[in-house]
Amino acid sequence: MWLINSSIGRKVVMSVTGVALILFLTFHGCMNVVALFSKDGYNMICEFLGANWYAVVATIGLAALAVIHIVFAFILTIQNRRARGGERYAVTDKPSKVEWASQNMLVLGLIILLGLLLHLYDFWYNMMFAELFPGLVTPMVNAAGEAIKPHDGFEFIKVTFSNPVMAVLYIVWLVAIWFHLSHGFWSAMHTLGWNGKTWECRWKLIGLIYTTLLMLLFVVVVLGFAFGCAPSLCEACNGAAACGA
């Protein structure tokens, strides 16, 4: 099958799965912004997307997309290195027209993968997995020492990002994703043939703007809870003056 056996086919698979993951990140980012403004609204979404059949099916599908994207990325990286052979050691000056993200996609991918594992533990494991298999998960506790319920996503966000170390790690992760997507977006359009001399620069600009706005959706949530300035924290503390304190 050419999608698996040929270099072009692998790039097509990577592009399609990459676009699908960007669409998921768009939904996820919009969903997370709700947590900035309403605890009840965000928890209602978490409960709706809890441990039910359609959420489980969607999670399996999303995991499959991510695994395929990662595996094909490693295959293409190894293939490209073998194709260059010893020549990659002969060049000391980096081409000026090649983006930094393009030259370091493997490193960025590894950072993203490690951040993804951390994110899965902090949220998916403590929420959906804990709801599916309650006896296997030790509940996370809040500042008051109370166990957090699996569908209380707002409290998970609050506890996670109130930790400065976790907030910094997530910011580093999001920056790595931004670099990865800023190159991957227009590269996918190029692979799928949706470009040309006119549209190549346009796709680069569109991709840069879109991925920047997308990552800002996540960053403002992290910073909002890290500094205790999210409006929803006032709702959670019943309008107390020192919200997030």
pLDDT tens digits for range 47-95: 998 878 888 999 999 999 999 998 888 888 787 777 766 554 444 445 4
Identify any residues that bridge with 141 across adjacent strands, giving them in sequence order: 147
pLDDT of residue 85: 60
What residues have CB less than 8 Å from 65, skipping those under 6 apart?
17, 20, 21, 24
| 25 neighbors 214 (Cβ within 8 angstroms) | yes
Other beta carbons within 10 angstroms of residue 150's beta carbon come to 22
Mean pLDDT for all residues in the chain: 85
The tokens for 164 are 């400065």
Lowest pLDDT segment from 47-61, 147-161, 181-195: 181-195
- Give the pLDDT confidence score for residue 90 in this predicted structure: 44
What is the model's pLDDT at position 240?
44
Tell whether the model's pLDDT for residue 208 goes beyond 90: yes
Percent of residues, the chain, with pLDDT higher than 70: 84
Residue 176's nearest CA partner among 100, 75, 93, 95 is: 100
Neighbouring residues of 79: CB distance < 8 A, sequence distance ≥ 6: 7, 10
pLDDT at 54 (0 to 100)? 87
What mean pLDDT is predicted for residues 170-193?
A: 90
Dihedral angle over CA of 60, 63, 67, 73, nearest 10: 140
Report the pLDDT averaged over residues 14-23. 92
What value does the mean pLDDT take over residues 138-162? 93
pTM for this one? 0.86
Tens-place pLDDT, residues 126-135: 999 999 998 8
CA angle, 24 as apex, 233 and 142 as ends, to 5°? 30
Specify whether the CB–CB gap between 154 and 43 falls below 8 A.
yes
**Cβ atoms of residues 167 and 226 within 8 Å:** yes
34-to-69, 137, 190 alpha-carbon distances in Å? 29, 27, 34
Residue with tokens 């590894």: 110
